[in-house]
Amino acid sequence: MTEPLVLGIETSCDETGVGIVRGSTLLANEIASSVDLHARFGGVVPEVASRAHLEALVPTLHRALEKAEVKLADLDAIAVTAGPGLAGTLLVGVAAAKSYALALGKPLYGVNHMAAHAAVDILEHGPLPQPCMALLVSGGHSSLLLVEDVTSEVRSLGSTVDDAAGEAFDKVARVLGLPFPGGPHIDRAAKDGDPNFVPFPRGKADDGTFDFSFAGLKTAVARWVEARERAGEPVPVADVAAAFQEAVADVLTKKAVAACKAHGVDDLLIGGGVAANSRLRALAAERCEAEGIRLRVPRPGLCTDNGAMVAALGACLVEAGRTPSEPEFPADSSLPITEVLV
Ligand code: KG4
Ligand code: ZN
């Protein structure tokens, strides 16, 4: 069989993503984001996001087809994020994907968003090593996954017990008066700051688990900034951003490397929006090299939510000969990571 032509639809949060791949070759990755509509609320408003997906989905899909220079009839399969994510936004993508699949008579794969964040790397660095360790960090999740085979066997080793890493970036940015979403702004501000300015707490860093905690760190930063403001002193935004970012990157990379060593895994993959962070990427590269671990991080545009990642996982599933989802499969906002395909 020639490599499958797969359309992927992603609507789990505020990005309407439509991607088209042929096997591990990326043909199109079109995105319409509703992030500007949420900015003044300091976080994603689910109902607003759902409405935006409804309006953006069909035009985004048409743009993707044009970009890839293919027709709907040419597709071998359709894949869609079935969960986890926001219940209402997932529903828009799942309903659209079912409609297209039914009308076109194409097989449909309802897939796990987290597994798709790992699978996307095939588009940049080729087939995933088996096994590989995946550190997935975004606004909604922070997880360490042992990926034996991205089409069937994904095990959760740990996840955040409170805030996701990206959520901490967004909340700390707010405290520092930086716009939403805060990650990229903190990343930029930190370039002129001192990472050792304040030794902010590294939650759960040495507790021997593969879980994370960022709520204490976020609160410590807020308290520090408040105290400074109360004293009538200026807040050194660049230094606080750098010291906060250092604490996050330190814990994430330390646990990821420890997980690789504990499970005898030689390949670490980092994905999700926070994987776009320059300090996380640099520190991960440094620590992996010191431990003889190969590091794979997709380019930032493939790390944040997009349709290509869903198409990539769809292509892996088609190539592995997996049975498509039943037509009545549900959108599941709390889909467990062990369920790669519903
Ligand atoms: O994967 P993603 O696009 O959506 C979710 O599934 O949540 O991740 C979005 C998150 C936001 O919290 C954003 O602040 C964070 O990723 N982010 C970053 C950077 N770029 C995006 N965090 C740190 N540094 C960045 N450069
Ligand atoms: Zn995501």
Task: Give the pLDDT confidence score for residue 42 in this predicted structure.
Answer: 76
Q: Which amino acid is at 319?
A: E
Task: Give the pLDDT confidence score for residue 1 in this predicted structure.
Answer: 62
Shared domain for 80 and 133, answered yes or no, is: no
Task: Give the pLDDT confidence score for residue 251 in this predicted structure.
Answer: 97
Q: Which one of the ligands is nearest to 191 CA?
A: 1
Ranges of beta strands (E only) in 90-169 are 108-112, 132-137, 142-149, 153-159
Shared domain for 78 and 134, answered yes or no, is: no
Return phi, psi of residue 83, to 5°.
Answer: 160, 175
Q: Is the CB of 187 under 6 A from ligand 1?
A: yes
Task: Give the pLDDT confidence score for residue 112 in this predicted structure.
Answer: 97
Q: What is the CA radius of gyration of the chain?
A: 20
What is the Cα–Cα distance from 37 to 109, expressed in whole angstroms? 30
CATH at residue 205: 3.30.420.40
CB 262 within 8 A of CB 223: no
CA atoms within 13 A of residue 19's CA, in its CB half-sphere = 31
Q: Residue 168 region, left (φ>0) first, then alpha (ψ -120 to 50), else beta? A: alpha
Q: Is the CB of 184 under 6 A from ligand 1?
A: yes
Rounded to the nearest angstrom, the distance between the alpha carbon of 274 and the centre of ligand 1 is 4
Task: Give the pLDDT confidence score for residue 16 in this predicted structure.
Answer: 96
State how many domains the chain has: 2
Computed from CA positions of residues 46, 81, 266, 153, in that sequence, does the dihedral angle turn out positive or negative?
positive
Q: What is the pTM of this model?
A: 0.94
Angle at 124 between CA 189 and CA 289, to 5 degrees: 65
Shared domain for 227 and 265, answered yes or no, is: yes
- Strand 142-149 and strand 132-137: the pairing is antiparallel
Tell me the pLDDT of the chain (342 aa) as tens digits: 689 999 999 999 989 999 999 999 999 999 998 888 887 787 788 888 999 999 999 999 999 999 999 999 999 999 999 999 999 999 999 999 999 999 999 999 999 999 999 999 999 999 999 999 999 999 888 999 999 999 999 999 999 999 999 999 999 999 999 998 899 999 999 999 999 999 999 999 889 999 999 999 999 999 999 999 999 999 999 999 999 999 999 999 999 999 999 999 999 999 999 999 999 999 999 999 999 999 999 999 999 999 999 999 999 999 999 999 999 999 999 999 999 999
What residue numbers bound the domain in which 213 lies? 129-298
Nearest Cα residue to atom 8 of ligand 1: 273
Shared domain for 135 and 252, answered yes or no, is: yes
Q: Which one of the ligands is nearest to 278 CA?
A: 1
